[in-house]
Amino acid sequence: MGLSRVRAGEGFFQPRLNSSTGLTVHELMAGSVQTEPAFSKRGPAVPAGMKRPLRGALHTEGLMTRYRKRQGGDEGVKQRSLMILMALVMLMMTAAGGAAAEDVLRGYDSAEGYIYVTLGKYPQVIDGGTPDEGINTWNWRAHYQKHKNEELMCEEEINPEAVPDSPILWRVLAADEEKVFLLSEYILFPSPMHESDRHYQNIGHDYGNTDLCAKLNGAFAEHAFTEAEMAMFQPYMTYGKIFILGAEELKDKSLGFGTNKSRKAWATEYSIRACGGFVYRTAVGNSSPYWLRDQSKNNTRAARCTKQDGDIGYYNCRNPEEGARPAVHMTQGTYRIAGGSGTKEDPYVITAK
């Protein structure tokens, strides 16, 4: 619509000059933005050495000028943009946190394997090296045996109390709406199941009455976990909050124990060098045995345990070289994930809420 066909002034509708600028006649007359007149395709002459501004650029400039005025100037635009950005970031963080709490701590999956986490601390490393696949365990045992044969007590050569704490690595066996089932990846220390095999004959059917059960829920728990972390765990039957697996659990394919090999475990450097934990020979992988909470039916003075090939056997309950591999039931909703990616090399870091 051309200027000659509409009279500009109060009380009159202010039409758009044309579709390219989006400005009213009043805005043009006020001189807020310079633009080309509607009646000229090319507009007024441009002085030499200057380029004619693009029609689209003028249109954008005019729109931004009016937007800034409505929003309180440039500072108002910046503040509103910042608020929108912060809202988006918070929304993304909330979505990520919800996924971690609900989806990350799954149980064993036959296709994807285990999720790994760290929780609590306990002495494990002396000079360094991993227990995995027995790469270092035989040397650790030989080191301990050498000093034992020289009639030097283990504690005199390596003081267990001087070994620093390290985060405990756990694999997630299972998870449901109520709890997360965790098993220590490594054997953390050796211990008798019970000091008296005669006494064990009578009480061995209830693991909750054994010395090992008392140790796990006493000295071990006090050393490994804070009060807030202990509050995350559920009591299990008569076994307290920290227990060891039973033979049926160690045969459960849904927990990842479908073969003898899957039942094998390795002990930490602390467990072997500082405390004398047993190590099987190199030919069978330098793994270590660990207790199960079942009393042997063949010999009531013995408790069931793993053997060199990962099969299940039994040994006298007084054996001090047999390992302890703790397990816990962690209550859903009591923890948060503070870091990591859930792999064995980069486990999730679990902290109490």
Please tell me the predicted confidence (pLDDT) of residue 144: 62
Predicted local confidence at residue 97, as pLDDT: 43
- Please identify, among 70, 98, 118, the residue that sits at the C-terminal boundary of a domain: 70
| Domain end call among 70, 96, 117 | 70
Q: What percent of the chain is modeled with pLDDT above 90? A: 58
Between 159 and 164, the more confident residue is 164
Give pLDDT, residue 161: 81
Q: How far is CA 72 from CA 246, 277, 353, in A?
A: 70, 74, 43
Structure confidence at residue 166 (pLDDT)? 96
Same domain, 316 and 170: yes
Flag whether 93 is in a domain: no
Residue 177 shares a structural domain with residue 317: yes
At 179-219, the pLDDT tens digits run 999 999 999 999 999 999 999 999 999 999 999 999 999 99
Which pLDDT score, from 0 to 100, does residue 202 have? 96
Same domain, 128 and 242: yes
Task: Flag whether pLDDT at 337 surpasses 50.
Answer: yes
Check residue 285 and give its pLDDT. 81
pLDDT band at residue 284 using 50, 70 and 90 as cut-offs: confident
Candidate ranges 94-103, 149-158, 326-335; pick with highest mean pLDDT: 326-335
| Same-domain check for residues 121 and 51 | no
Residues 127 and 263 in one domain: yes
Residue 148 inside a domain? The answer is yes
Residue 53's alpha-carbon distances to 19, 34, 39, 66, in angstroms, are: 17, 10, 17, 19
Number of domains in the chain: 2
- 166 and 288 together in one domain: yes
pLDDT band at 26 (very low <50, low <70, confident <90, very high): very low
Residue-number span of the structural domain to which 8 is assigned: 3-70
On whether both 20 and 125 belong to a single domain, the answer is no
Residue 290 lies in a domain: yes
Three-state DSSP at 108 gives coil
Q: d(Cα 63, Cα 71) in Å, to the nearest integer? A: 12
Q: Are residues 204 and 344 in the same domain?
A: yes
In the chain, the percentage of residues whose pLDDT exceeds 70 is: 63
Q: Which residue has the tokens 């440039």?
A: 74
Same domain, 152 and 298: yes
Band (170; pLDDT cuts 50, 70, 90): very high
Strand ranges for 179-332 from DSSP E: 179-184, 189-190, 242-243, 291-295, 302-306, 312-316, 323-324, 327-331
Examine the domain organization and report whether 63 and 120 are in the same domain.
no
- For the residues 309-315, what does the mean pLDDT come to? 96
**What mean pLDDT is reported for the chain?**
78
- Reported as a single tens digit per residue, the pLDDT across 108-140 is 999 999 999 999 999 999 887 777 766 667 576
Residues 54 and 144 in one domain: no
Is 79 domain-assigned?
no
In a domain, 121, yes or no: yes
Last residue of one domain, picked from the residues 13, 44, 70: 70
Asked if residue 136 is part of any domain, the answer here is yes
What whole-number distance in Å separates Cα of residue 290 and Cα of residue 277? 10
Same domain, 126 and 270: yes
The confidence band for 156, taking pLDDT boundaries of 50, 70 and 90, is very low
pLDDT at 132: 72
Q: Is the pLDDT of residue 33 over 70?
A: no
Q: Is residue 97 part of a domain?
A: no
> Does some domain include residue 83?
no
* pLDDT at site 147: 54
Tokens representing 340? 């990591």
pLDDT score, position 160: 76
pLDDT tens sequence across 69-98? 555 555 655 666 666 666 564 555 444 443
